[in-house]
Amino acid sequence: MIGYLQDENGDLMVQNGDFVRGDVKPDMVADTLNYMPGDNKAAPQLGVGLRLAIGGKPDVFLTGRLKSQCKEQGIEIKKVLINGSDVAIQL
């Protein structure tokens, strides 16, 4: 999917005074991971709430919820690996 990219802070990426376009799938997956349900008013069910796992164990259903929510957005996730505080996602 082509759209406007985000920078590392989640803001729109700007180069040479213009917005940067590119593949937004990684940004969409990152938003889905970071959002809590209810954070996005346009899509209140979107989000798996990864930040709830900070300092604790991740929800055992997190991977399944992430895959199903991304599938609804047209993104297929092949593999999710959670190792401590590291999360690796293969699209």
Report pLDDT digits (tens) over 13-61. Answer: 999 999 999 999 999 999 998 899 899 899 899 998 887 777 777 677 8
Q: How many CB atoms lie within 10 A of CB 88?
A: 9
Is residue 71's pLDDT more than 90? yes
Amino acid 60: pLDDT: 78
Provide the 3-class DSSP secondary structure of residue 53. helix
Q: How far is CA 10 from the centre of its chain?
A: 11
Structure token pair of residue 45: 């069910």
Amino acid 86: pLDDT: 78
What sections of 12-90 are H helices per DSSP? 25-34, 62-72
Asked if 78 contacts 90 with a C-beta cutoff of 8 angstroms, the reply is yes
- Banded model confidence at residue 83, pLDDT cuts 50, 70, 90: confident
pTM: 0.82
Is residue 89's pLDDT more than 70? yes
CA distances (Å), origin 26, targets 14, 45, 81: 17, 19, 15
Q: Which residues pair with residue 30 across a beta bridge? A: none
Element (H, E) at 35: none
